[in-house]
Chain A
């Protein structure tokens, strides 16, 4: 009897390993992925040269990956793919006949925006209603947001709009489109791919991975893991989260350091995960666009948005800013459009005051910078064109503007966990810095969080190293061959596992999803 029970328990465990478990979603940085990827890679060797089979193979694996990540929402992904696949063909047909496509494009956008709004804003509206009517009227649970919903919805909108603009032709088979949307490395957190860049890769007869590509992939994955699973996790768990919660005291020094910490954490978390995604895709022979380019090196806010979450800012530019009229309706409308784009971009992160304030801040900054560029013909758009001293000053100012933006962002992120209003938390942090900042606190505060401070220091130093350094590392990794790359990845995975074990020991909470997973 005992034995039988154990046996059924074992079977249940095996089943549960392969079924969706909301408490341990599959990401690219988990051990389970390593094994799943091995199984995938063994079959991939065979299907690599047969485009049809390859598409099916990768798509099925991607769908399974999404199922492990988000469970039943797999159907939502499939639904979006199907509806926009059909609409895409309708739009193309009408275009060929010279008919208007607006109606169909509007339908696609309406469906996608409705999905996005439902998952993003329901919680907010329920809150509002409940505040008005107090409890009792509505008994509504929060809506769990499907992983990566924004990313596939955005790409799906882009696909239909591109067809209507005539820049691409619709994909012939549904499976190809499903593949485009669900391709597992980028599905969760991007980078957003443009159909125009990706379709040729789907249709390519054979995908090839050169030595250089493989070296670059290994470098990206190793660097991404360090950024995502070591620097960001440790900084967040050891310093940023407790500092925001006030567990490290109410010193202004700690509050300021927490903002610098969050600034580094959110970059490492997001760009690290993106790098892993790009690296994994590259190993399979698919090229995804770069998503980050050392954003804090930017000397102006305009430059920042060309280096931060590049695929999203490009998307916003192509499909929101241009749809609003872009710069074709005079200078004033350009500024307004820029501003509106950023505010909507802010609201997309979540319906709350701080996210909106974040969007307003960036929108204002971008618009003002554009005006500045217009008034001063000598002003430069990018740091590289500036005098080194000017560049240094400008970079410092830009970094602090962005960091202030991240304070708003972090407040919006942390406040719900603490059960306070996000705006109050933000004001509280500012208040701490403004009224309780004492020079004599600096050294003790740094000493008290020694490990986190060392990590932060290393993180910033690595970030500000010249680009040629990255190139040199990549070349070295490429040249080191199979053995060298193997040693590198094994060492990095070992460090990641040690780090996560230590963090669990320190805080009792296992690392969760990437920070950007909610958006």
Chain B
């Protein structure tokens, strides 16, 4: 009976350019690097995978379904650097087999630092999805699946969402598994969909690992694992970064073939099907309450906030950035406000992570800086320039005052 629920995260930050304390320019972002990374990943992942999914949706005549959360900042970059990606997303939206999920427009940690900014960014993202694809998202996912009871309460109080997506971390589930619909403790209507991290990571991380005992993974084998959920679960939530396809797992690993053949084997079992998150919560009852008093996320093995808030630099940079909110908004200047919001993207703080830094692991692969220290210095220099811009803007006489004099 299990339904397979795919959700893909699509995101690219606006990376900063090298910015020293002596720089006075107001262009903070590395246009060249952002454009080239965006085009590179588009060619390796976004374009081929979107086209593959379109082909699959057509081939299985609506029985294959997927869902996406596409951040505002990556959409801005698609529009600017590779608009052809936009048209493939449009085509996916038109199939009716694609659900779009809401999140913070800037892929930020605003929930932890400013409720006002959080509401603003969720609203911005909802507006964008509605404008682009005509859908009003009913499912919410927070940046990096960061979640606790408080987030559930906040989201329920917004009266716009039916469910939240988060990590199926062992420590919140205990003896239970992630393959059911759950509910947060103090919520009446809001439901929870939890990531099956084991099966998700088999695709996202282990697929090409030759040291893995299950390598090589093919569609029949994976389908058997899905079949075996039958009887102890309603839904298998396969949540992963979209860059898994073609970027983290290169084309020559066979990841595209695997994906293309997967529905064929999964749908062989008459009880199996594919569903979007909204369909899952409509189709299955809530099985239990999952209490999450402490913050969880989908990052690293710790599944906590330590990738963004693990050292003094990260916490300082975050505090300094959010401390500027009032000042920034007072200026009422759209360029300043937009720059500030782009600086809230969680990736900037992830680059400052010193965890595992000496070991040279996965954090390094995604990091445009040589070291977390360089990234902190760069970020603080930019922030300091932005602060000065705010002060200068506020010191300028307003038009009314100018006319009066």
Partners in one complex: no
Residues of B within 8 A of A (CB): none
Residues of A within 8 A of B (CB): none
